[in-house]
Chain A
């Protein structure tokens, strides 16, 4: 009798384990991408500040802002619109760059947020929110300063 009970409990635990493992596995496999816009911003700063931070110490900035799994920090960056363009996926790209700064912050929008770029004008002061993909740096091969890159961006209205 006692032995039977142990076996029964064992089977129930095993089945439950399988179901949970399967569900977790299924969830992991189909895990949705992080929703950057509904995530809370990790840092709020202006375009000149983050560019200066990267140009001063890129390694320190990378370990502060980039995450090992690619879900890097969500930033709210204030700045002046200096260029508006479009990428090969039809996503709008807004460059925020301060007067006299060597590099700026390039924010790529999404099909859902593209429309919010239509209202923007060059010279306007705005705040964008997005996930950081890479930092600013002087590249001696390009002979150019590279911008900080944000993706999944949107305009923040306060």
Chain B
């Protein structure tokens, strides 16, 4: 009898663990691109160091982005980007997106397909948090989950402003962010 109780407890425990484990997808393979275009020049920066999770049960989605991981073609641009006047990455080393897929009923993580996901949440850059509402795409293929999105960020919203000098003419006020992440069960 004792054994049976123990067995039930173990089975129940295992079931909970595997259930919660399965609902959480983790990505350490991601690509985030910044793109700024002005008549003066196009500027691009790429980052492959982010970590992301999706909770398939609740629709919660999180991206944690190490800001010093953005690579620019020109070293000077990268120095400017990291500097105190721009993103101040020493003080704010990470940017974060926390959101929720609000049309979770339209996304089936267990069937192959391409789904439109409406994500509502908050984006924190340089310590400033703003609400966001963006569209993304979730692709499920052979058990593999991929998320992607493309949206615009107005730099001034996050206290990134360039009043004068070259950056004020060469960096767009609004930059395009392209995001892609490949997930696996935790």
| Residues of chain A having any CB pair with chain B under 8 Å | 28-34, 62-63, 66-72, 85-89, 91, 93, 106, 108, 133-135, 139, 141-144, 146, 149, 151
User: Nearest-CB distance from B168 to chain A (Å)?
Assistant: 17
Q: Please state if B90 and A89 are interface contacts (CB–CB under 8 Å).
A: no
Confirm or deny: B136 has a beta carbon within 8 angstroms of a beta carbon on chain A: no
Q: Please state if B51 and A68 are interface contacts (CB–CB under 8 Å).
A: no
Q: Please state if B76 and A88 are interface contacts (CB–CB under 8 Å).
A: no
Q: Which residue of A lies closest to B79 (CB)?
A: A69
Report chain A residues within 8 Å CB of B109.
Answer: none
Interface residues on B, range: 35 or more
Contact status of A144 and B26, CB under 8 A, knowing A62-B93, A66-B89, A89-B31: yes
Confirm or deny: B137 has a beta carbon within 8 angstroms of a beta carbon on chain A: no
Q: Please state if B68 and A70 are interface contacts (CB–CB under 8 Å).
A: yes
| Cβ contact of A71, chosen from B64, B79, B180, cutoff 8 A | B79
Q: Please state if B64 and A34 are interface contacts (CB–CB under 8 Å).
A: no
Confirm or deny: B139 has a beta carbon within 8 angstroms of a beta carbon on chain A: no
Report chain A residues within 8 Å CB of B93.
Answer: 62, 66, 134-135
Confirm or deny: B75 has a beta carbon within 8 angstroms of a beta carbon on chain A: yes
Q: Please state if A68 and B82 are interface contacts (CB–CB under 8 Å).
A: yes
| Cβ contact of A68, chosen from B24, B31, B71, B84, cutoff 8 A | B84
Q: Please state if B82 and A88 are interface contacts (CB–CB under 8 Å).
A: no
Q: Please state if B48 and A87 are interface contacts (CB–CB under 8 Å).
A: yes
Can you show 18 pairs from A to B with CB atoms below 8 A apart?
Answer: A30-B74, A33-B78, A34-B75, A62-B90, A66-B90, A66-B93, A70-B78, A85-B28, A87-B31, A88-B30, A89-B48, A108-B48, A134-B68, A135-B93, A141-B96, A142-B51, A142-B62, A143-B24
Q: Which residue of A lies closest to B78 (CB)?
A: A70
| Cβ contact of B69, chosen from A29, A63, A71, A149, cutoff 8 A | A149
Q: Please state if B51 and A85 are interface contacts (CB–CB under 8 Å).
A: no
Which residue, of B52, B74, B182, has the highest number of chain A Cβ atoms within 10 A?
B74
Q: Please state if B94 and A134 are interface contacts (CB–CB under 8 Å).
A: yes
Describe A's contact surface by its main secondary structure.
Answer: loop
In the A-B complex, the 3 residue pairs with the closest CB atoms:
A70-B82, A134-B66, A88-B31
Q: Please state if A133 and B28 are interface contacts (CB–CB under 8 Å).
A: no
Contact status of A149 and B49, CB under 8 A, knowing A32-B75, A88-B29: yes
Q: Please state if A72 and B68 are interface contacts (CB–CB under 8 Å).
A: yes
Q: Please state if B74 and A29 are interface contacts (CB–CB under 8 Å).
A: yes
Confirm or deny: B131 has a beta carbon within 8 angstroms of a beta carbon on chain A: no
Q: A28-B76, A142-B51 are in contact. List 20 more A-B contacts (CB 8 A).
A: A29-B76, A31-B74, A31-B75, A66-B93, A68-B88, A69-B83, A85-B29, A88-B29, A88-B30, A88-B48, A88-B182, A134-B49, A134-B94, A141-B64, A142-B62, A143-B24, A144-B26, A144-B51, A144-B53, A151-B71
